[in-house]
Amino acid sequence: MDNRPIGVFDSGLGGLTVLEKIYKYAPFENYIFLADQKNCPYGTKEESTVRNIVIENCQYLEKIGCKEIIIACNTASLFIEDAKKTCKIPVISVIEPTATNACSSSKNGNIGVIATDLTIKKGRYQKIIEGQNKSVFSVPCSEFVDYIENDITNIERGRTLVKEKLTYLKEQNVDTLVYGCTHFSLMEALYKELFGNINYIDCGDSIKEIAFEKIERTTNKEYGKIDIITSSNAKEFSDKMGWFKININSIKEKK
């Protein structure tokens, strides 16, 4: 058995939505969450920049003793093959399981994907979904990341953003909406106001079982610890994560 922690990283708050689902699924494991606030957002950066960030973060998590790395960010997951080449431990992407989950959930074959500009541009979701004979309608929504990180208590602004960006998807009669950015789960109540009773697919639910297929499980008999490391300001990150109700062992800044 392997009692080393599982490493999870994202540019900020979004990856916590994945960590929350994974922890509830496997609560005896220990976790290290790397919140790369310094480089947030990823989705509007150049591909080469994001690739280097992903490699650096994966190498860091391996160096501090993680037994696996979950890339809890769709934009970063685009560069999983680069990460795998530099790491000796398993590295998991959120994209493929989430796209597959969406295809299995859709009844009418019309699937909407919302993601950052770079994720939409690269077309990975579109390719997987179309490959399963479904129709995909994609909308770049990098603006949502800024809203979630900096202004999420402004509900009216959020409601306006959702209406402006996603009315197109409602007009396409989508019965399934994919959160192609892990931040986007935090706006689910606003999507439901617009779309009503459709399928909402987030990365955490899609990946929680797959994340444990390639590793040995812990022998811990007590609830595991979650330690957070941020590449920026620890207090600032702590102040933003009030919605995260699982106990945190520590929050510290990356050295």
Question: Quick one: which of 3, 66, 67, 29 has its CA closest to 223?
Answer: 29
Other beta carbons within 10 angstroms of residue 17's beta carbon come to 25
Beta carbons of 157 and 126 less than 8 angstroms apart: no
| Token pair for 194 | 């617009």
Catalytic residue among 73, 103, 141, 203: 73
Whether 181 is catalytic is yes
Whether 66 is catalytic is no
Question: Which positions ≥6 away from 170 have C-beta within 8 Å?
Answer: 194, 195
Cα 101 from Cα 176, distance rounded (Å)? 10
Cα 91 from Cα 69, distance rounded (Å)? 5
Cα 255 from Cα 253, distance rounded (Å)? 6
Q: Residue 208 in 3-state DSSP?
A: coil
Cα 56 from Cα 49, distance rounded (Å)? 11
Catalytic residue among 40, 58, 103, 181: 181
Identify residue 246 by its one-letter amino acid code: I
Q: Helices (DSSP H) in the chain: which residue ranges?
A: 14-25, 47-63, 74-77, 80-86, 95-105, 117-122, 124-131, 142-150, 155-171, 188-195, 203-207, 234-240
Write out the catalytic residue numbers: 73, 181
